[in-house]
Amino acid sequence: MTSLSERLSGPSGTTIFEVMSGLARDLGAVNLGQGFPDMDEPEELIAAARRALGAHSNQYPPMRGLPELRGAIAGYYGREQGLSIDPAEIVVTSGATEALAASLLALVRPGDEVILVQPLYDAYLPLVQWAGGTARFVSLKPPHWTLPLDELAAAIGPGTRGIVLNTPNNPTGTMLTRAELEAVGALAEAHDLWVVCDEVWEGMVFDDTHHVSPLSIPALTQRTVKIGSAGKIFSMTGWKIGWAIAAPALASAIAGKHQFLTFTTATPLQWAVAEALALPPDWHAAHRARYAQAKARLVGGLTRAGFAVLPASGTWFVTVDLAASGLPTDDAVLAERLIREAGVASIPVSAFYAAAAETGFLRLCFAKRDATLDLAVERLARSRLTG
């Protein structure tokens, strides 16, 4: 039997999420690993998709996306984040990962250096490498997961062309502040760098925290690509509707890559998302509240069971500090023990690193029904009692 660590270092290229979800299915474990909800899906979106199938064309839409959807995206960001976006600056893609791919393929040239901030979403590094670039790594500082601006500045060299950011951050759930983004903007201006910012979790922000997009920072407005996801905003991960937003020249370059990746994205789902983005702010607030309640339920249960849960303002995830919880700090080993012995799947945060990994943290997904969360907490609490 191969260990989790061996599976992650093997040649198959299978992601940690697939590995853990496969183990959860095989072992009958509660899956708090992969980030997908098991709550009821928004009926408004299901109804909109049904209407779209019958009332609109099911043939190819425009390559950059339906004008109605691009207009709805611009309107949504105007209401939710106060951003002034021209629909012509938006490229609709088949999920946010495709938006990342099209953006990085458009921006990275062979030999370019790109700064990646760890812990990082697993697609960033291979996409940079596929484009012919090389990565330099800067790591957030636990337990508050702050961005070390001095280290970021030191990582910029003569070959550096861009920076990839992620806010709210997956896996930590922490967010970059306006002051941090302004500091990044000053560095980007000084060194003529582009910024790709993965903001897919912007619709899942809690605790009265406000998301700040780099597009709202004057120094970054013309040099940033904003990545968004309807799947995350509406908790419909299987729809795979994403987008990239950038100044016109950048958007055109991204569209040029998008047309040879997927060309277009499912027409009926584009219509449905356009309709959903026009839902009033109260709807979005109520949708977020469901996940805020789930987060509070999991964090409360874990805390009562003796686990130290780190503060997080966004995403569907919380992280457990293993040392502060009195647990062994080899997260990959502990994650395998928990799934096999306690029947709960988690994700070791070390899997989100390409170099010099932090090994003392586990990520858990709270986007689950009450019964699912309660069962997971019960099993985890029992595992602590039995050693």
Length of the chain: 387
pLDDT given for residue 25 in this prediction = 80
Per-residue pLDDT of the chain (387 residues; tens, 9 = 90+): 455 454 444 334 567 777 877 877 888 889 998 888 988 899 999 999 999 999 999 999 999 999 999 999 999 999 999 999 999 999 999 999 999 999 999 999 999 999 999 999 999 999 999 999 999 999 999 999 999 999 999 999 999 999 999 999 999 999 999 999 999 999 999 999 999 999 999 999 998 889 999 999 999 999 999 999 999 999 999 999 999 999 999 999 999 999 999 999 999 999 999 999 999 999 999 999 999 999 999 999 999 999 999 999 999 999 999 999 999 999 999 999 999 999 999 999 999 999 999 999 999 999 999 999 999 999 999 987 665
Residue type, 100: L
Domains and CATH numbers, the chain: 4-39+282-386 (3.90.1150.10), 43-280 (3.40.640.10)
Question: Taken in order 122, 126, 127, 129, is the CA torsion positive or negative?
Answer: positive
Question: Phi and psi for 120 in degrees, rounded to 5?
Answer: -135, 150
In the numeric block, the tokens 């700064």 are attached to 115
Place of tokens 């299978």: 14
Mode of pairing for the β-strands spanning 90-93 and 242-245:
antiparallel
Residue type, 235: S
Matching residue, tokens 């309640």: 293
Q: What is the 3-state secondary structure (H, E, C) of 363-384?
A: EEECCCCHHHHHHHHHHHHHHH
167 CB neighbour count, 10 Å cutoff: 25
Look up residue 256 and give its two tokens.
Answer: 């040029």
Instruction: Tell me which DSSP letter residue 31 carries.
Output: E
- DSSP label at residue 68: H
